[in-house]
Amino acid sequence: MSRLLAPAIQYAEQGFPVTDYIACSWQESLTALIDEPGAFRSTFTINGRAPRKGEIFRNPDLARTYRILAEQGRDAFYRGELAVAIDGFMRQNGGWLSLGDLSGHASEWVSPISSSYRGYEVCQLPPNTQGVTVLQILNILEGFDLRGSGFGTPETLHLMIEAKKLAFEDRARWYGDPAFAKAPMERLLSKKYAAKQREQIDPFRAAARYDPASAIVGVGDTTYLCVADSEGNMVSLIQSNFRDMGSGIVVPGMGFGFQNRGELFALEPGHPNIYAPGKRPFHTIIPGFVLRQGSPWLAFGVMGADMQPQGQAQILTNIIDFDMNLQEAGDAPRWCHEGSSDPTGGVMTAGGRVSLESGFSYEAVWGLMTRGHRVRSAIGVYGGYQAILRDLETGVYYGASEGRKDGAAAGY
């Protein structure tokens, strides 16, 4: 652990130059978080403002926390001095996170869920994540000739948007912590169910609502990365503090803020995602993975809360249906549909709204509008994409990182 944390400790102590994108997002988050109790202001601002582009940011408190973890291991956080400090701070400030909560926590290994798409096995994590949504979207789309209708045409865009809307209805109805409520996973992922869902799509008209049933498209503090080694092992990983920079709650001397994913609980009695003690909320972060011929082939992710499943579906159709290479698949213009029913209780009643990046044609925009979609250009959350693909014949890796966010593809 000391070896793994050494580079992070060095950056925390000596600092790093803040990039343009991060500096902008950092400043946008300050208004809501700067007056939260604790050490947010002293930890994450420079004289009350966000660090500017190119300015060196240091976090010596985080370096200290990492040193404690390097020397004492995970128990320092869940049972040791860090846990005691968190417990004391929460008691003083009216928080509910206790030493008992931390010491009682246990992480778990879970088996991935998967579904085939045109001969590729697409893998996701099960609820309480939204990974099932990607598989449901692809199952619906598999019955349409996307290659024939073409990338970026109004026909293709309409079918993909409607498939997203249908899958999000199930997301709103069924997803939650499986320890408290079991989603009918076998039915949701069956090709028979996908065929039934597909029949609901009118090829010439956008639906104002779908059965079953103010949606949230979160803008989160999310980081995605993927790595691969010389033996063909591949890892797809994503983590997030959720909205903005998380809760803004920073225990003095620790250098990190707590997440605010509890915002995504529902308060509707009987809902699978209703708030309860010891329960995990629905969450949006989903690392993507694809097998080909039973072997690891593609590790990828698209950051951006509710954009993640619709973004992943777009990446996979770009590669599989439209023959784009790994970089082209991420650089291609994206659409983002907002306003679906959501797991916190919101219900779609007016069909939502579609945002399109500027790379789509006028004909595509007009074609969606004539089908009844409410369309706006450019403004929207389009995510951030990274990927590694392995050529199964040669063992050669291909890496991709798009320009919507910071990131890079690198080999060592």
Same-domain status, 65 and 176? no
Give the residue with greater pLDDT, 156 vs 268.
156
Same-domain status, 134 and 22? no
Clarify whether 129 is annotated catalytic.
no
Q: Tens digit of pLDDT for each residue in 352-408?
A: 999 999 899 999 999 999 999 999 876 667 889 999 999 999 999 999 999 888 889
Q: Which of 65, 133, 156, 222 is catalytic?
A: 222
Same-domain status, 16 and 31? yes
Q: What is the pLDDT of residue 378?
A: 67
Q: What is the pLDDT of residue 176?
A: 87
One-letter amino acid for residue 364 of the chain: A
* Segments in 175-288 forming alpha helices (H): 185-188, 191-198
44 CB-near residues (< 8 Å, 6+ apart): 26, 33, 50, 245, 250, 257
Same-domain status, 138 and 216? yes
Q: Tens digit of pLDDT for each residue in 50-108?
A: 999 999 999 999 999 999 999 999 999 999 999 999 999 999 999 989 999 999 998 88
Same-domain status, 187 and 165? yes
Q: Tens digit of pLDDT for each residue in 265-288?
A: 888 888 888 988 888 888 888 999
Q: What is the pLDDT of residue 158?
A: 98
Same-domain status, 203 and 338? yes
Q: Phi first, then psi: what are they for 378, rounded to 5°?
A: 70, -55
State the CATH number of the domain containing residue 341.
3.60.20.40
Q: Tens digit of pLDDT for each residue in 298-357?
A: 999 998 888 999 999 999 999 999 999 999 999 999 999 998 988 888 889 889 999 999
Answer with the one of 60, 78, 103 that is the final residue of a domain.
103
- Label residue 220 by pLDDT band (50, 70, 90): low
Give the residue with greater pLDDT, 264 vs 17.
17
Q: What is the pLDDT of residue 172?
A: 87
pTM of the predicted protein model: 0.88
pLDDT of 216 > 80? The answer is: no
Same-domain status, 283 and 382? yes
Q: What is the pLDDT of residue 246?
A: 86
284 conformational bin, left if phi > 0, alpha if psi -120 to 50, beta if neither: alpha
pLDDT of 211 > 50? The answer is: yes
293 conformational bin, left if phi > 0, alpha if psi -120 to 50, beta if neither: left
Q: Identify the burial level of 187 via C-beta atoms within 10 angstroms of its C-beta, where 0-12 means exposed, 13-18 middle and 19 or more buried.
A: exposed
pLDDT of 245 > 50? The answer is: yes
Same-domain status, 65 and 158? no
Place of tokens 């605010």: 260
pLDDT of 209 > 70? The answer is: yes
Same-domain status, 326 and 399? yes
Mean pLDDT over 120-138 rounds to 94
What strands lie across the sheet with 335-338, from one edge to the other?
A: 335-338, 353-356, 375-377
Same-domain status, 119 and 234? yes
Q: Identify the burial level of 322 via C-beta atoms within 10 angstroms of its C-beta, where 0-12 means exposed, 13-18 middle and 19 or more buried.
A: middle
Alpha carbon distance 46, 163 (integer Å): 46
One-letter amino acid for residue 125 of the chain: L
Angle at 216 between CA 211 and CA 221, to 5 degrees: 140
Same-domain status, 219 and 168? yes
Alpha carbon distance 182, 260 (integer Å): 24
Same-domain status, 201 and 94? no
Q: What is the pLDDT of residue 213?
A: 39
Answer with the one of 54, 74, 103 that is the final residue of a domain.
103
One-letter amino acid for residue 236 of the chain: S
DSSP for residue 257? B
Instruction: Of 193-197, 212-216, 404-408, give the range with the top mean pLDDT.
Output: 193-197
Answer with the one of 57, 86, 103 that is the final residue of a domain.
103
Hey, what are 158's tokens? Answer: 């309409």
- Name the strand (E) or helix (H) holding 10: helix 2-14
3-state secondary structure of 361: coil
Lowest mean pLDDT among 147-161, 194-208, 216-230: 216-230
Percent of the chain with pLDDT over 70: 97
Q: What is the pLDDT of residue 403?
A: 87
Range of the domain at 315: 108-412
Average pLDDT, the chain: 91
Question: Total domain count for the chain?
Answer: 2
